[in-house]
Amino acid sequence: MDLQLSGRVAVVTGASKGIGLAVATTLAEEGAHVVAASRTRTDALPDKVVHVAADLMDPEAPARVVARAVEEFGGVDILVNNAGGPPPGVTLPRAGFLTPSDEDWAAMFEFNLFSVVRMIRSVLPVMLERGGGSIVNVSSTMSRQAGPVNVDYGAAKAAVNQLTKALSEEYGPQGVRVNTVMPGAVLTDWWTKEGGAAEVFAGMAGSDKESVIAEVAPAMMKLVTGRLIHPQEIADAVALLASPRSGSTTGAEFVIDGGQLKEI
């Protein structure tokens, strides 16, 4: 299926690894001009992708990223707000409501909500000038699956969901579609890195890292598929939502979670 992305200009945040890397690569393969924002560039990015070094904890960074896209390609048609998760220097999971301090809450919202707000604020005038565009916000099943782990992260992502709905209502009539992709547990370095989630859960469960990834985590989250999600599976959904082929899809939440969420 031709996604009609050839020649369109896409900005992808958090594009150096995991979901963001898969999204940037997929959009580039579909013919889009891609501007990838992350603190550092990875050699895994296709050569034709333009990288912008940006720390989205810096309030001025989003405007610089959008300005670079306009400078290189004349505008922006697609924004993928993928950057998120643990703020720099933070390891998740983090158990218990009383565990995170005010500073922890502030950093979590700065990285997972306010960076999204600022990216959208920076890109909207450019999109509107071109007659519309597509914004895809990457949220999380933790925004809907409340529990005593990563409370601050789940709250920040729930705010992203609400923001998506509000923006869709306001800017849909002007040609800007805004949707959310809601991944479950994705096999990224959040899980696999040294000291990452798999090792933290292994310590809690008296297990080992490999067993957590292959068995313990899928069982704990009651994943119907019995495995964690591949980043490419998220990237494929993002590409479809970015495409004009999804022209009547806006304000939607696409859950890709291996069957984790059970409610109707």
Q: Which residues are catalytic?
A: 153
Rounded CA separation 85/17 (Å): 12
Per the DSSP assignment, residues forming a β-bridge with 229 are 186
37 contacts 84 by C-beta, under 8 angstroms:
no
Rounded to a whole number of angstroms, the distance between the first and last alpha carbons of the chain is 30
Q: How far is the CA of 144 from the CAs of 12, 14, 231, 253, 255, in angstroms? A: 24, 23, 20, 11, 11
Burial 23-57 (b: 16+ CB within 10 A, else e): bbbbbbebebbbbbbbeeeeeebeeebbbbebebe
Smallest Cα–Cα separation from 234: which of 6, 34, 15?
15
Sign of CA dihedral 228, 151, 86, 117: positive
Q: Quick check: 82 and 15 in contact, CB under 8 A?
A: yes
